[in-house]
Structure 1
Amino acid sequence: MKKSRTTITDIARELNISPSTVSRALNNHPAISTKTRELVIGLARKRNYQPNLLALNLLRKRTNTIGVIVPEITSHFFSSVISGIQDLLNPIGVNMIIGQSNESYEEEKSLVQTFSSIRVDGFLISPSSETKNFDHLDVLTQNNIPLVIFDRDCEGIDVDKVFVDEYNGAFQAVEYLIKSGCKRIAHIAGPPSLSTARHRLRAYRDAHRLHQLPVNEAYVVESVGFAPEHGIDPAKQLLALPQRPDAIFAINDGVAIGTMYVIKEAGITIPDDISVIGFDDDPYSCYFRPSLSTVWQPTYEMGMLSARILMKRINSNNDLSKLKVEQLFPELIVRGSSR
């Protein structure tokens, strides 16, 4: 039969003392004699006693655990963010529970409820592409649970937020294409519900306007996701136009890779015939031929900064008098896929 875990009650019963005396002895309380303390600690070691940290932390009104909710964890983008969060939390003894919403509003709402029920000290959340109703996040603020939104904005919610300047990064990419001589620049956009997609599309239009280059609306198409397969149909749609584009700026590297596949299959040369630029600088981007031009984002730094802000909020009893909205800056990386 499997042996059960030793508890404070077990130690108290064997030594014929009260559980409260055992607890005080284990916590080095001055009211407990040296002899009793040594007996308790000796037996605890012999029985391999492990304290119930969850119960102890709940008594202290802290679990030393935060909830992290992201749309998905397999991409380099979010895995890098999570690494930054972990590297900030580990040295200070704080744990994290990670939930993946799979770009689903219902799953995100369920994760918030589940993590709240186990009393996490605060939340770091990057909203799903389906999240348009923020009631589940309002509940957190109403209950004084610290929350930091990162990467994707939830407009109208007054909490700490950490973003990358998506507009700036996209503007760099499109302006580079214009200055390299491209005249028919297409954009494979993301879901319009996402603030990141809206910022990149606005930058695409503004770069054209600044350089007095008209936007052909036929060159703006939408992808339904962010993986390479989500670049296939939009790229085919663009190549089928009477006058195909001479450059494509994709919502992210995954979609850009799918786009490059379609272009190559059509016998079109990259970048001589069509330049391609992605967004995110996934590690695999530089290994394609030609290597992918892209916009680098400081994802690791975003994770660390988000976690640092959240911990300050938790340790200040969630004083909301000075909310932070931080922006990190991206950088265009020019490789072989663009002129």
Structure 2
Amino acid sequence: MQKTHPITITDIANQLGVSPSTVSRALRDHPSISAKTKRDVLALAEKHKYQPNLLALSLLNKKTGIIGIVVPEITGYFFATVISGVQDMVSKAGYKLLISQTNESFEEEKRLLQDMTSLRLDGVLISPTFETKDYKHFERLQSAGIPLVIFDRDCADFEADKVLVDSYDGAYQAVEYLIKNGCKNIAHIAGPISFPTFKQRLDGYLNAHYDNNLPIRSELIIKSNDFSSDAGVDAVEQLLRKERKMDAIFAVNDAVAIGSMHALREHGYRVPEDISIIGFDDEPYAQYYYPSLSTVWQPAYELGMLSAKILLDYFSSKDPRKAYRYEILKPELMIRQSSIELKNRT
């Protein structure tokens, strides 16, 4: 079977006896082209299923119409919701979205940004990996004239547009709520504090104690490099093995909180009658677990929309950049059955 090549603007022009520029303008409904010529061009284009050469157009227009987004993973609720917010915003503006995931690999992150630089994407949104400490690949992207917006996870020593959620405030709200409701021995299952997001959650936990004159028991702080339910199980086993007295747990995320709840029940503890639990993220399953999980809701969809809007605003602005934007979104404490209220304490 003879191979056929996709029809081009030049092919259409040759068949109609007009110039390629006339065909190009006709396809864009330019007012300088007659109605008859437009009809002839569109009919031939439809007959041969003409598709524009996006690479050629990008070279001509010096833009691809494509925005890249790089996330640690795409299967979880949080980043999937962020991507949805980005998609809804950029598609309305006529842009396509190229989605990539790093699987928390710094090497993969570098490779992906190199590819996006080579493709000359119009802009990139990124939530860095936990391993990201060197920002040379970000600098190369910016040096190539490709604007970058960092979201969700801060890179404190790197200047760029940023959209973050106030993890400190979310943690503070959660722990202060527990204190106000009579909890005096609150454990914290923390993430790696070398990463700003989890350092902020630890700081919120600590300062809620300071501000409410509640002594901090360092032995109740368990640091984990894992964020799964198994990490919650392991942390509770550590606490119980050392016979740590506790009446509440603030977990670094919902998965860890669920694992903690499971481990406590396996050891005969009641949630929340014996030990209250609060997580972080407000994953969809949180409200359907039993007992339903109190947690800190993050505005993931709004995070995606605002990150995309900052990029789109940059595209449309004719003024030179004066400063990078730094936006902080506020989380909200969602109280459900896993944390007991003061009026229900005996």
- Give yes or no for TM over 0.5: yes
* 3-state SS in 2 of match to 1:248: strand
Q: Per-residue deviation at 1:70?
A: 0.8
* 3-state SS in 2 of match to 1:327: strand
Q: Per-residue deviation at 1:242?
A: 2.2
What is the TM-score normalised by the length of structure 1? 0.93
CA RMSD of aligned residues (A): 2.0
- Aligned position for 1:7: 8
In the alignment, the residues of structure 2 paired with residue 202 and residue 276 of structure 1 have an alpha-carbon distance, to the nearest angstrom, of 18
Q: Per-residue deviation at 1:295?
A: 0.6
Aligned length: 339
Post-superposition CA distance 1:111-137 (Å, at most 9, x none): 111112111111111111111111111
Q: For the structure 1 residues 325 and 29, does the alpha-carbon distance in structure 2 shift closer, same or farther, using more than 3 Å as the test?
A: closer
- Aligned position for 1:211: 212
In the alignment, the residues of structure 1 paired with residue 237 and residue 172 of structure 2 have an alpha-carbon distance, to the nearest angstrom, of 25
For 1:4, the aligned partner's letter is: H
In the alignment, the residues of structure 1 paired with residue 224 and residue 42 of structure 2 have an alpha-carbon distance, to the nearest angstrom, of 62
In the alignment, the residues of structure 2 paired with residue 76 and residue 33 of structure 1 have an alpha-carbon distance, to the nearest angstrom, of 51
In the alignment, the residues of structure 2 paired with residue 161 and residue 107 of structure 1 have an alpha-carbon distance, to the nearest angstrom, of 21
- With 71-80 and 141-150 compared, the bigger mean Cα shift is at 141-150
Q: Per-residue deviation at 1:230?
A: 2.6
Q: For the structure 1 residues 19 and 196, does the alpha-carbon distance in structure 2 shift closer, same or farther, using more than 3 Å as the test?
A: same
The runs of 5 or more residues in structure 1 that have no matched partner are: none
The runs of 5 or more residues in structure 2 that have no matched partner are: 341-346
Q: For the structure 1 residues 283 and 37, does the alpha-carbon distance in structure 2 shift closer, same or farther, using more than 3 Å as the test?
A: closer
- With 11-20 and 40-49 compared, the bigger mean Cα shift is at 11-20
In the alignment, the residues of structure 2 paired with residue 112 and residue 160 of structure 1 have an alpha-carbon distance, to the nearest angstrom, of 17
Alignment of 1:98-177 (within 5 A): 98-177=99-178
Alignment of 1:1-339 (within 5 A): 1=1, 3-15=4-16, 19-27=20-28, 38-316=39-317, 319-339=320-340
In the alignment, the residues of structure 2 paired with residue 258 and residue 274 of structure 1 have an alpha-carbon distance, to the nearest angstrom, of 14
What is the TM-score normalised by the length of structure 2? 0.91
Post-superposition CA distance 1:23-54 (Å, at most 9, x none): 35444567767665554333222222122233
Counterpart contact for 1:130–1:193, Cα < 8 Å: no
Counterpart contact for 1:294–1:333, Cα < 8 Å: yes
* 3-state SS in 2 of match to 1:233: helix
Q: For the structure 1 residues 36 and 266, does the alpha-carbon distance in structure 2 shift closer, same or farther, using more than 3 Å as the test?
A: same
- Aligned position for 2:344: none
In the alignment, the residues of structure 2 paired with residue 266 and residue 318 of structure 1 have an alpha-carbon distance, to the nearest angstrom, of 63
Question: Quick one: percent identity of the two aligned structures?
Answer: 55
In the alignment, the residues of structure 2 paired with residue 317 and residue 115 of structure 1 have an alpha-carbon distance, to the nearest angstrom, of 24
In the alignment, the residues of structure 1 paired with residue 245 and residue 228 of structure 2 have an alpha-carbon distance, to the nearest angstrom, of 23
Counterpart contact for 1:105–1:130, Cα < 8 Å: yes
In the alignment, the residues of structure 2 paired with residue 79 and residue 30 of structure 1 have an alpha-carbon distance, to the nearest angstrom, of 42
In the alignment, the residues of structure 2 paired with residue 138 and residue 164 of structure 1 have an alpha-carbon distance, to the nearest angstrom, of 24
Q: Per-residue deviation at 1:104?
A: 1.2
Q: Per-residue deviation at 1:81?
A: 0.8
For 2:283, the aligned partner's letter is: D
- With 139-148 and 34-43 compared, the bigger mean Cα shift is at 34-43
Q: For the structure 1 residues 318 and 244, does the alpha-carbon distance in structure 2 shift closer, same or farther, using more than 3 Å as the test?
A: farther
Counterpart contact for 1:132–1:193, Cα < 8 Å: no
In the alignment, the residues of structure 1 paired with residue 178 and residue 26 of structure 2 have an alpha-carbon distance, to the nearest angstrom, of 70
In the alignment, the residues of structure 1 paired with residue 95 and residue 227 of structure 2 have an alpha-carbon distance, to the nearest angstrom, of 32
- Aligned position for 2:343: none
In the alignment, the residues of structure 2 paired with residue 227 and residue 131 of structure 1 have an alpha-carbon distance, to the nearest angstrom, of 21
Q: For the structure 1 residues 207 and 28, does the alpha-carbon distance in structure 2 shift closer, same or farther, using more than 3 Å as the test?
A: closer
Q: For the structure 1 residues 318 and 130, does the alpha-carbon distance in structure 2 shift closer, same or farther, using more than 3 Å as the test?
A: farther
Q: For the structure 1 residues 333 and 113, does the alpha-carbon distance in structure 2 shift closer, same or farther, using more than 3 Å as the test?
A: same
